[in-house]
Amino acid sequence: MRDLAEKWSVAPDWQSAVITAPGLVVRAVPGLNQLLVSGDLDAWSLMSGVDGTGVGAFGTAQGERYAARLARDRLLVVSNTPLAIATGWHAEGFAVTAISAGLQVFEVEGSALDAFIGRGTTLDPRQASASAALSFAGISAVVYRHQDRLRIHVDRGLAAYLWTWMETAASNITAGS
């Protein structure tokens, strides 16, 4: 029987994987706590202490605990440490789902960042939008800036594909095409 696994890209060791090109560095970001919050985001904010507004695409998040807006009533909450709030439905009107294991996070930085973004999406990287959820490199992703770097969250099953795409994009940017 034919081995169908040979069709798929092999996932790198995310702990040490780095793409380096002139003006660009891409790496995986391990260990982040990621929660999907749906429902009454004002109630979420009051109970958790995390801003319920969230940044949109190319907006800038700051600190060790922040949120990215996915929809009118949905946030991706990202933290370096676990939040002291239970998963599940809350009577205040929101639900919390732990999704850290389901999303792979990448960080991209460098002087060629805008050219890299231009290869991944048609959106203007200098113009923040209301939602951080968008199509990037042909797949659904959550994209925003964290301090001076671009962060990209994708379904873990698509991470090897995106990594291969980012390797190609980085080499094409440096080649001047």
- Does the residue 110 lie in any domain? yes
* Number of folded domains that form the chain: 2
Q: HEC string of the chain?
A: CCCHHHHCCCCCCCCCCEEEECCEEEEECCCCEEEEEEECHHHHHHHHCCCCCCECCCCEECCCEEEEEEECCEEEEEECCCCCCCCEEECCCEEEEECHHHEEEEEEECCCHHHHHHHHCCCCCCCCCCCCEEEECCEEEEEEEECCEEEEEEEHHHHHHHHHHHHHHHHHHHCCC
Q: What residues of the chain score a pLDDT lower than 70?
A: 1, 4-5, 7-9, 174-177
149 plus 110 within the same structural domain: yes
- Does the residue 7 lie in any domain? no
- 71: domain range? 33-98
Nearest to 133 by CA among 61, 89, 68: 68
pLDDT in tens, 3-24: 766 766 677 899 999 999 999 9
- Does the residue 1 lie in any domain? no
CATH number of the domain enclosing 26: 3.30.1360.120
- Does the residue 63 lie in any domain? yes
Query: Tell me, what's the pLDDT at 174?
Result: 61
- Does the residue 78 lie in any domain? yes
- Does the residue 44 lie in any domain? yes
- Does the residue 88 lie in any domain? yes
- Does the residue 118 lie in any domain? yes
Query: Tell me, what's the pLDDT at 5?
Result: 64
Q: Judge whether 129 and 58 are in contact, CB under 8 Å.
A: yes
124 plus 143 within the same structural domain: yes
Query: Tell me, what's the pLDDT at 4?
Result: 62
Query: Among 98, 127, 154, which residue terminates a domain?
Result: 98
pLDDT in tens, 110-129: 999 999 999 999 999 988 89
Query: Tell me, what's the pLDDT at 177?
Result: 44
